[in-house]
Structure 1
Amino acid sequence: MSELATFAGGCFWCMVKPFDQWDGIIQVTSGYTGGHKENPTYQEVCSETTGHAEAVQIEFDPQIISYQELLNVYWQQIDPTDPEGQFHDKGHSYRTAIFYHSEEQRQLAEASKRELQASGRFDKPIVTEIVPASTFYPAEEYHQDYYKKNALRYKMYRSGSGRDAFIKKHWGKAKNVAELKQRLTPLQFEVTQNSATEPPFRNEFWDHHEEGLYVDIVSGEPLFSSQDKFDSGCGWPSFTQPIEQASTTEEIDITHGMIRTEVRSKESDSHLGHVFNDGPGPNGLRYCINSAALRFIPKADLEKEGYGQYADLFKNH
């Protein structure tokens, strides 16, 4: 049997995707709650006269994902210390709040708030409200799944509002920069950590044809196979697909006056390169990857290097 969770975290455009991507999530709906006006419109809520907050209501399967896990996701999307709104959106309608649907949810929410305060992650008090759930009014259709319908504007809004930078500062994976600078070459560090691009045709793997695995230079995570490598003529190693889709993430990149899709490694969050829709494979994709982000494991060394489970990829070659 499914359950509901309701969270307010500023603009609801930015609060859908972080929950929508988890197993056990049945539906995430953008809407309005916590006020006195029945069936409010977006314009009415923005006018700060309804008492409502922009919020998301999540239908989830507690057998697959717990309410505690949803709380953990929630805290990592917001600035819980701001009583005036969220990032550049100010006003009561942009407040943060947890609207609990049961006594158990209230207790879990209160405990998680105390734990966050005690963690010292923030140097100001946690001001997020924890209040009983009331009637939830779904927002207009154009607000639903906004991150899918308007991917570029969504990306620019998250970045421009300061939300992404705040989340990265407070919740980003901790990296030992000194250790990485010692372990990586200057070029490897700049590519993986600062999204630099190495020169075409003057990098290690652009014309490399040996059989084996290409793994993340930072984490060692397997990323690409020589079986999927092809000569695209671009001057960088190109692949039709990763070994596993879950090993990489994609982000819209609007730097240098272009709109591109950046590819990052899932485990280390390192910049790898970009993916384009002009490849020869069945999916029509070309993963254009910096050699400096990769380490090559020859087929003969897979077992010795701890990648023996991938030997079957080259069984018939």
Structure 2
Amino acid sequence: MQQNANGSGGKMREIYVAGGCFWGVEELMRSVPGVVSATAGYANGFSAAAPSYAEVCSGRTGFAETVRVVYDPARVSLAALVFLFFRAIDPTDANGQGNDRGTQYRPGIYFTDEESAAVVRGVAEVERRRSEVFGVEVLPLRNFFPAEEGHQRYLERHPGGYCHIRPGLFAEARSLRVDPGRYERPSDAELSRMLAPEVFSVTQEGETDIPWMHPYAEEMRRGIYVDAVTGEPLFSSAAKYASSCGWPAFSETLDPQVVVFREDRSYGMRRTEVRSRAGDSHLGHVFSGDRESPSGVRFCVNGSALRFVPYGEMAEAGYGDLMDLV
């Protein structure tokens, strides 16, 4: 299944996201190409009247510091914005983010129509699979009031101001290349029907290919490697190198946002697992200090989790906009 990232009708759409202090969330969303405006404010409180910042900070109003995001669906999908939001927060922390504590800093996503609700719930379900605890509200918007002028574009006016979001994420938002809205994860029932047994065992059950047994370990043609489950582009042949590990090895991802990392303590080891963003497929692990890697980083990936698209077939397969990265 695929979702059209272009939306419909050419109209601007909106979504409301709460992720701790709204200064950083507003700046992050405003960094995304295709976002028309981002407004800091207060949402889903008890009162029908606009609260003050001091009242919200008391924790007694029910309002959460929230950002209203207006975006052009012809340029960026709602799924891309929601996945980016999850990269900026700790979804296990229901009572704040970073140093900000209290219900006014709770994480949440608030929608105003059923089409948006379906996308938000779909992304939230993928993210829920990655967390043992999930503390993010996913609810209809009840009310929203813009914050005082002093809170609008705060980090633009105060570049050294407090922000709980890691600095590198702003650059990633500005350089978004792969829109996850095009690569929706099928249902579990669909996956069990559509995937070959070896692909299912690796991507859904975390199994590992036998080293040197998959042809992609020695595949060096020009092209891209996509998630075998969703088709989301993950790696370019430009980053693939000959490795003695026995699995396909890459020095970097095609776009920093297409993978997520999780701590893996299985088999008595402490490793960093790599999973695909939109499909939540188990891909493999990432290691640092690899002398064979041009970057010192080795993404050690199971060939069964990937599908190779040769350069000459990329345009026809829908990846023509990424040919400059190969």
Normalising by structure 2, report the TM-score.
0.51
Q: Deviations over 1:215-264 (max 9, x none)?
A: 4323445544555432333332102244x427x61323123274626242
Instruction: Quote how far apart the aligned CAs of 1:294 are.
Output: 1.9
CA distance in structure 2 between the aligned counterparts of 1:117 and 1:216, rounded to whole angstroms: 25
Question: What is the DSSP-based 3-state SS (H/G/I as helix, E as strand, rest coil) of the residue aligned with 1:232?
Answer: coil
Question: Quick one: which of 142, 145, 150 aligns to 1:129?
Answer: 142
Q: 2:47 maps to what in 1? A: none
RMSD: 5.7
Residues 133-172 of structure 1 mapped to structure 2, 5 A cutoff: 133-135=146-148, 138=151, 144-148=162-166
Q: Is the Cα–Cα contact under 8 Å of residues 18 and 67 in structure 2 kept in the other structure?
A: no
CA distance in structure 1 between the aligned counterparts of 2:301 and 2:20, rounded to whole angstroms: 34
Residues 260-299 of structure 1 mapped to structure 2, 5 A cutoff: 260=272, 262-264=274-276, 268-279=279-290, 280=292, 283-296=295-308
Q: Does 1:253 align with 2:262?
A: yes
Q: Does 1:35 align with 2:46?
A: no
Gaps of 5+ in 1: 79-85, 99-108, 152-171
Q: Who wins on radius of gyration, i.e. which is larger?
A: 1
Q: 2:199 maps to what in 1? A: 188
Q: 2:218 maps to what in 1? A: 208
Change (3 A) 1:228 1:149: closer
Residues 229-240 of structure 1 mapped to structure 2, 5 A cutoff: 229-240=240-251
CA distance in structure 2 between the aligned counterparts of 1:22 and 1:7, rounded to whole angstroms: 15
Instruction: Quote how far apart the aligned CAs of 1:188 are.
Output: 1.2
Q: Is the Cα–Cα contact under 8 Å of residues 97 and 130 in structure 1 kept in the other structure?
A: no
Q: Is the Cα–Cα contact under 8 Å of residues 265 and 271 in structure 1 kept in the other structure?
A: no
Q: Is the Cα–Cα contact under 8 Å of residues 31 and 136 in structure 1 kept in the other structure?
A: no
Q: Is the Cα–Cα contact under 8 Å of residues 202 and 302 in structure 2 kept in the other structure?
A: yes
Question: What is the DSSP-based 3-state SS (H/G/I as helix, E as strand, rest coil) of the residue aligned with 1:287?
Answer: strand
CA distance in structure 2 between the aligned counterparts of 1:55 and 1:211, rounded to whole angstroms: 49
CA distance in structure 2 between the aligned counterparts of 1:264 and 1:71, rounded to whole angstroms: 14
CA distance in structure 2 between the aligned counterparts of 1:72 and 1:241, rounded to whole angstroms: 21
Q: Is the Cα–Cα contact under 8 Å of residues 241 and 293 in structure 2 kept in the other structure?
A: no
Change (3 A) 1:261 1:302: same
Q: Is the Cα–Cα contact under 8 Å of residues 239 and 252 in structure 2 kept in the other structure?
A: yes
Question: What is the DSSP-based 3-state SS (H/G/I as helix, E as strand, rest coil) of the residue aligned with 2:165?
Answer: helix
Q: 1:101 maps to what in 2? A: none
Gaps of 5+ in 2: 1-13, 44-49, 87-91, 97-101, 122-137, 170-182
Q: Does 1:23 align with 2:33?
A: yes
CA distance in structure 2 between the aligned counterparts of 1:225 and 1:71, rounded to whole angstroms: 23
Provide the aligned length of Structure 1 versus Structure 2.
252
Change (3 A) 1:15 1:274: farther
Q: 1:198 maps to what in 2? A: 208
The alignment-based identity, stated in percent, is: 24
Q: 1:166 maps to what in 2? A: none
CA distance in structure 1 between the aligned counterparts of 2:23 and 2:260, rounded to whole angstroms: 15
Normalising by structure 1, report the TM-score.
0.52
